[in-house]
Each structure stands twice: as structure tokens, then as C-alpha cells.
Amino acid sequence: MRRVVITGLGVVTATGCTIADFFAQLLEGRAGTRRIQNLEPALAEQLNCKIAAEVLCFDPSQHFDAKELDQLDRFSQFAVVAAKQALEDAGRGEFSEEEQNRLGVCVGTAYGGIETLDSSYFSLYRKNASRLSPLVLPRLMYNAAACQVSMRFRARGPTLAPSTACSSGAHAIGEAMRFIQHGQADWMLAGGSDAPITYGVIRAWEAMRVLAPENGDAARACRPFSADRRGIVIGEGAAVLLLEEYEVARKRGARIYAELAGYGANSDASHITQPSVEGPARAMQLALDAAGLNPEEVDYINAHGTATRVNDVVETRAIKQVFGARAGKIPVSSTKSMHGHVMGASGAIELVATVEALRRGVLPPTANYSKPDPDCDLDYVPNQAREQKVRAALSNSFAFGGLNAVLVVKQV
């Protein structure tokens, strides 16, 4: 089976809109959580949860003209910009017409064009609008970002838009990997994008009672694995990686960040919101088996780590089930403590963080960790980045509905 490597990275996040800025802020343990700024003040004031990890380093007018912006929801804007970064980072200019047929796109999302949907419904039901723009549907559809990336870069290969809630980005990367492995593409722009910081989405999450309160310090609101954790912080953003067949990359002299060596996907098939231990554990084992690795070869795990009471305990137990006695010796960190829970983009953003940790030999911390929880007793790299050589690493993504996706990267 053909090998798949990562040759380009692109991000748009609350902790930076370039790879350098993004990873530097992670290593410093700086969270992008703050009072919400991009909602109408009157609406924002009505929210019980007034914090989120917004992308404030992003100016759409620097990337798109007015006509383009009319056609692009915020989540599509993020995806196009992250894809452009990934191609530039990989040293790829324009693809020839023949190459375009071998270039595919796989961009996952949990919410699609929810900003467009939210504002359209507001116009209809609050402002009594009698008609909507004909561009509403092309902006809000879940495949809009994948289609916009495909059109922008003339990618005529396989193009998909997985929507599996919070594991969408990881599923997108895993499925893109398979297209290359099975010879249907030589390059894939793969990742995830979401822009879910809308009045309606936040109200829906408030109803589930899993949003972290501000408590006077927004930057410390998200505290994965800490005994005083109170819940998630919603984030927005995107990450796109250029995946490339190994021999194609080698022949063109590409810089290779890492090999995308394994992908495990499955379902708990048990509960719509409560995760099982067995499902995530089996997904991790499937990914390790696909990569041909044993537990002793894994040096880092980027956790799903949402900072909810239930999820962090379940993930801890799942890691123990897979790694046994060695579980306590493997560093595990949750970068959601800094960039927030970016829903369908989280798995892609976290894979970028994992790749950078492997490449640079330094692990991002779990920020805001203040108090050990006896039910979460692994090494969570609390608060301080750590230098460590990484041979292979896992990136975990576990979604509502029990849909799990685990990715494995390793040194080439």
C-alpha cells in the first residue's frame, strides 16, 4: 500500500493565523479565550456564556474581494486561507492540468455555514424579511468549504466533506489518506473548518450545561483533566494539511514533516452524547494496528480533552486500556485548553499541533491545569511545554454520537 506523508501545514485559529504563531502560543500556554467580540452586542449580552476562542487575527478583506466574500461563509473563508497556507508551506505552486486530476480535497465540518444560517433565520423570524439572498444555500451547505477549496486550487480529484461532529476534521484527514493509499490521488488538501460562534449555537450548548463559565478570567476557563474543570470553550478556525504520496514527495525534493501512518475509525453505537471507554480504546488500537506500531513506540498523545467532567475520565480510562502499565509514562496533553473546542476543525488543528511536536521535539502543555483529579491520573504535561523526542504520536478525536477517529503520525 502506498505511503502518505505530510508536506504542508496551514492554520487559522484563536491562537494564531500562521503555523509559527499558532505553535509559539501553544508552547507558551497562552489561551485564545476572551469575551466574545464578533456578535452584535445586544445579542452577546443576552448570553449566559459570554466567552469563546474567537479568531481575531483574521481579516477577510486581506484574502478576498467583495464579490468573493458574498459567496463565502466564514467557515469557507477559513478553509480557503488555511489551504493556501498549506500549499505555500509545501512549496507547491500551480498544479499542471494532469496533476489537478490527482489533487483532491477533504474538509470536514460540524456546523457548515451556520453563521449564514443563523443570520438568515434572524432576518426571517425577527426582522420579518420576505426573501433571502440566492447565495444563502451555496454559503451554508456543509460541502461549501470543500467545494471552494477545490475550485480555488483547481483540485479535480476526489472531494468530500465529512460531517461527524467533533471528529469531522480527523475523519477528513483519515479518509484523504485512504484516497492516496489506494491510488485515487497523489495529493490531498485535508482538514477541517468551523465558525460556530453564533447566538443560536451558543444558546444550544448552554442548554446542555457543558460550557465553562468565565469566573473572572476567560483565558483560564478551559481546564482539561484538572479536578476543577467546568466544561468546554467553543472555538472557531481551520487547519488544512497537504498530504502527499511518499515517492511523489521524495522525487520533487519536498520537505516532509511526518508520515501519516495510521487511522482508526469506529462507533461506540451506544449513546448520542455519553462516550464509552471501549469505543475510543478500540479506535486507538485500530490506528496503531494500521500504522504497524506497538504501544511502546508511542511517545505522545494529543488528547481529545474537552474539559468536561465525563469526557476526560473516559479518555483517561481508554488510554489505560490500550497502553496498560505504560499509560502513565506517555505524555498526554489537550491543546483545546488554548485554541478552544473548534468542533469539526478540532481534529485537524490538533493534528497540526501533534506534527509540530514531533518535528520540533517539544510537547505543547495542557494549559490551566491546577489540581490533580484522582480519576485522571496520567501525565498531562501541565502548564509548561516539555522538550522530548517523539518517534510516533496519536491524535484523538471523539464525537457526539460515539463517532471516533484516531490518527497516527511518525518520523519518516
**pLDDT for 126:** 87
What's the Rg (C-alpha) of the chain? 20
Question: How far apart (Å, rounded) are the C-alpha atoms in residues 106 and 173?
Answer: 7
User: Torsions phi, psi of 93, nearest 5?
Assistant: -85, -140
**pLDDT for 8:** 99
pLDDT in tens, 4-47: 999 999 999 999 999 999 999 999 999 999 999 999 999 999 99
Biggest CA pair distance of the chain: 64
Catalytic site residue from 166, 171, 339, 376: 166
Question: How far apart (Å, rounded) are the C-alpha atoms in residues 121 and 142?
Answer: 17
Q: Angle between the 19-28 and 346-360 helix axes, to the nearest 10 degrees?
A: 80
pLDDT in tens, 183-192: 999 999 999 9
Instruction: Judge whether residue 206 has pLDDT over 90.
Output: yes
Q: Specify whether 341 is catalytic.
A: yes
Q: Give strand pairing partners of 13.
A: 16
Question: How far apart (Å, rounded) are the C-alpha atoms in residues 327 and 117?
Answer: 43
Predicted TM-score (pTM) above 0.95: yes
Given a contact cutoff of 8 angstroms between Cβ atoms, the answer to whether 171 and 346 are in contact is no
Q: Give strand pairing partners of 406.
A: 264, 396
Catalytic site residue from 147, 171, 222, 341: 341
- The one-character DSSP state at 407 is E
Q: Specify whether 304 is catalytic.
A: yes
Instruction: Judge whether residue 113 has pLDDT over 90.
Output: yes
Instruction: Judge whether residue 215 has pLDDT over 90.
Output: no
Q: Angle between the 346-360 and 168-181 helix axes, to the nearest 10 degrees?
A: 70
Q: Specify whether 171 is catalytic.
A: no
Angle at 349 between CA 344 and CA 350, to 5 degrees: 105
Q: Which of 171, 54, 170, 164 is nearest to 110 (CA)?
A: 164
**pLDDT for 150:** 98
Catalytic site residue from 171, 304, 339, 376: 304
